[in-house]
Amino acid sequence: MFGHAHDAIIAADAVLVASGTATLETALLKRPMVITYKVSRITYRLMWHRKYLPYIGLPNVLAGEFIVPEILQDDATPANLAQALGNLVANPKVCEKLVERFEQMHLALRQNTAQRAADAIAPYLERALAR
Tens-digit pLDDT profile for residues 102-115 = 999 998 888 777 88
**What's the whole-model pTM score?**
0.77
Range of the domain at 68: 5-130
Q: Which residues contact 108 (CB under 8 A, 6 or more apart)?
A: 62
Number of domains in the chain: 1
* Rounded Cα gap, residues 87 and 89, in angstroms: 6
Q: Which residues contact 106 (CB under 8 A, 6 or more apart)?
A: 27, 28, 30
Tens-digit pLDDT profile for residues 76-104 = 999 999 999 999 999 999 999 999 999 99
* Rounded Cα gap, residues 20 and 70, in angstroms: 12
